[in-house]
């Protein structure tokens, strides 16, 4: 049985359809003091909790779903985290800071037999869980919504860490060059990027990243492109906080694409087939 978090209902339904599993009609409620509660039906066998931890409340909800699944009779609990929040704080960058990814992973490990997460920010995050944890690559289908007539396309990563993703999207598209920018982050919303070596003049460009959060990285990268034809941006996790979508539009981006690990208007690619394949192989 699939148990969905409140922010992941579209992906959970797609996953249930892929697997032929029951989709539980979970109830979500809030108390006047702001605390939350979930209710799940009786469970016979394996429970698959599917919840992106897009907020602190979503983290709490995930922990509650795991506990509710246990109380409802599940004999095995698999936790699918399509988007793992706090994963970018995978080290203490300044003295006195926590390794938040490890904190969250440890808490999640207490209520599950194993974890599956989609394109974690760094693969090393998987090692923070105290139970077996598997990463799923959902980038292969990100090329699907791109126009079929891209002119001499260039697939660019905004930093070196996203080069593999850019190559994966290029491979999915079937043709094109890949390269990357150099990125320097000054704060949570202030980044600078320096251009890649590739001549993009008159060519269609696709900029690929794992996460678009504030949109600063993408809009800075797009702003550095010298006379491209059309520019598209695509990512696995379209967090798109604040005015990120406006920044991208102002930078001249034709279209934004992402997967349904985070349910947004741009989530045109489903991670469900890749997650289902992993679950079937466990």
Q: Which residues bind ligand R5P (CB under 6 A)?
A: 88, 158, 161-162, 191, 209-217
Distance CA 170, CA 208 (A): 10
Nearer to ligand R5P by Cβ, of 48 and 218: the residue is 218
Asked if 80 and 108 count as a contact pair (C-beta separation under 8 A), the reply is: no
Q: Is 183 an active-site residue?
A: yes
Nearer to ligand R5P by Cβ, of 186 and 197: the residue is 186
User: What token pair was written down for 28?
Assistant: 């979500």
- Minimum distance between the CB of residue 25 and ligand R5P, rounded to whole angstroms? 34
> What distances in angstroms separate CA 57 from CA 7, 51, 125, 169, 211, one per listed residue?
10, 11, 21, 32, 20
User: What token pair was written down for 73?
Assistant: 């009779």
End-to-end CA distance of the chain: give it in Å, rounded: 16
Q: Which of 102, 170, 183, 203 is catalytic?
A: 183
Distance CA 100, CA 98 (A): 5
Asked if 229 and 258 count as a contact pair (C-beta separation under 8 A), the reply is: no
Distance CA 169, CA 199 (A): 19
- Minimum distance between the CB of residue 209 and ligand R5P, rounded to whole angstroms? 5
- Minimum distance between the CB of residue 15 and ligand R5P, rounded to whole angstroms? 25
- Minimum distance between the CB of residue 18 and ligand R5P, rounded to whole angstroms? 27
Q: Which residues are catalytic?
A: 183
């Amino acid at each position: 049985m699939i148990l969905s978090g409140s922010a992941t209902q579209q992906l959970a339904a797609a996953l249930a359809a892929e697997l032929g599993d029951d989709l539980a009609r979970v109830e979500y409620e809030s108390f006047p003091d702001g605390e939350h509660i979930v209710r799940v039906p009786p469970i016979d066998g394996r429970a698959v909790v599917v919840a992106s931890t897009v907020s602190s409340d979503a983290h709490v909800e995930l922990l509650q779903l795991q506990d509710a699944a246990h109380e409802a009779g599940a004999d095995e609990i698999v936790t699918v985290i399509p988007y793992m929040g706090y994963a970018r704080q995978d080290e203490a960058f300044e003295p006195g800071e926590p390794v938040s990814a490890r904190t969250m992973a440890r808490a999640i490990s207490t209520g599950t037999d194993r974890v599956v997460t989609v394109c974690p920010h760094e693969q090393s995050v998987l090692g923070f869980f105290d139970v077996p944890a598997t990463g799923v690559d959902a980038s292969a289908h990100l090329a699907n919504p791109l126009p079929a007539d891209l002119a001499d396309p260039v697939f660019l990563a905004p930093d070196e860490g996203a080069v593999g993703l850019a190559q994966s999207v290029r491979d999915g598209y079937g043709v094109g060059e890949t390269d990357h920018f150099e990125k320097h982050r000054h704060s949570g919303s202030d980044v600078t990027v320096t251009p890649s070596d590739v001549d993009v003049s008159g060519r269609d460009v696709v900029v690929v990243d794992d996460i678009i959060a504030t949109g600063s990285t993408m809009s800075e990268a797009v702003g550095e492109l010298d006379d491209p034809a059309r520019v598209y941006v695509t990512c696995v996790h379209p967090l798109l906080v604040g005015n990120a979508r406006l920044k991208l539009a102002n930078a001249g981006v034709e279209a934004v694409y992402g997967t349904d690990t985070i349910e947004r208007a741009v989530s045109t690619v489903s991670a469900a087939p890749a997650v289902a394949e992993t679950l079937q192989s466990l």
